[in-house]
Chains A and B, each alone.
Chain A
């Protein structure tokens, strides 16, 4: 059994209810028509593949069916936090123990992580 915290349902739910949907925080270019082919290709097809902390989009497919973000360590598979759409991660590659005080306080309520 492996549990993931859904920030919308507000509780840990079985992994089987979720699907990963790739890299998170990919902003669609404001003006697609003004993009070069390379910029548009990067936006559509090219994704980060970091060793370590990664931010991913997941969907609670068999629950509330909402998309949300997951900060996950790609080496240990540990899920460090989950947070709602539109929010920023409190744990990043630069700050693997959480961002400094001010930011961390803002985000503290979001950090529920995972219970395995």
Chain B
């Protein structure tokens, strides 16, 4: 367990160097439930796709100091406004407002430990906290013309484009679970779900999307 930059904080890489088989939180669901093939409507067809094993970090602290560190280390501005979601140019890395002192960073899998260390080095003695929550949650991507229809059946939040533009993300109730819903691009919705709720949300989506011919991309 290598020492972190700040001597009073112990950090470790949650990805082992040894080759150990890693499975997505939905491995069980794919086996146990069905995984209908995406239909042939091309880009318009309703598709759910898991983005497993990404790097998730929860960043807490004061907005001003975190914003500066994040811009230096990730090249992304900290969304200062409630419900803000900011992505980098590639769309691979994002920062989302969760609460007045809490943000969710999602980066490609494998980048999170290095990013955490760089942020710790830059933040130094500032009052902050970084927690790797990647093992506890996963991302489901919902795309297609009918994606919003499925969400309207599933969440209490108003997902009309006038109320939920691109670049917004909220924590709310999805079916009987708590999820983070985000809109990174015009035609794609992301659900950040807890690992233990992944199977439930997956099967809910298959059920809710059945009438629109939902398919699963792997």
Contacts and interface: CB of A to CB of B under 8 A. Distances in A.
Contacts of B171: 62-64
A16 B174 CA distance: 11
Contacts of B178: 62
A17 B82 contact: no
A26 interface: no
Contact of A17 (B83, B99, B100, B172): B172
Contacts of A1: 156
A59 to B, nearest CB: 12
B82 A14 contact: no
Nearest to A6: B82
Contact of A64 (B100, B156, B157, B173): B100
Contacts of B172: 13-14, 17, 62-63
A11 B172 CA distance: 13
Interface residues of B, number: 13
A13 B98 CA distance: 14
Nearest to A9: B82
A8 B99 contact: yes
B170 interface: yes
Contacts, number: 39
Contact of A65 (B82, B83, B99, B173): B99
Contact of B99 (A14, A16, A66): A66
B160 to A, nearest CB: 14
B83 A9 contact: yes
A8 B172 CA distance: 15
Interface string B88-127: 0000000000111010000000000000000000000000
B173 A16 contact: yes
A102 to B, nearest CB: 28
Contacts of B157: 13-14
Interface of B: 82-83, 98-100, 102, 156-157, 170-173, 178
Given A10-B83, A16-B173, 5 more contacts: A11-B83, A62-B172, A64-B82, A64-B99, A64-B171
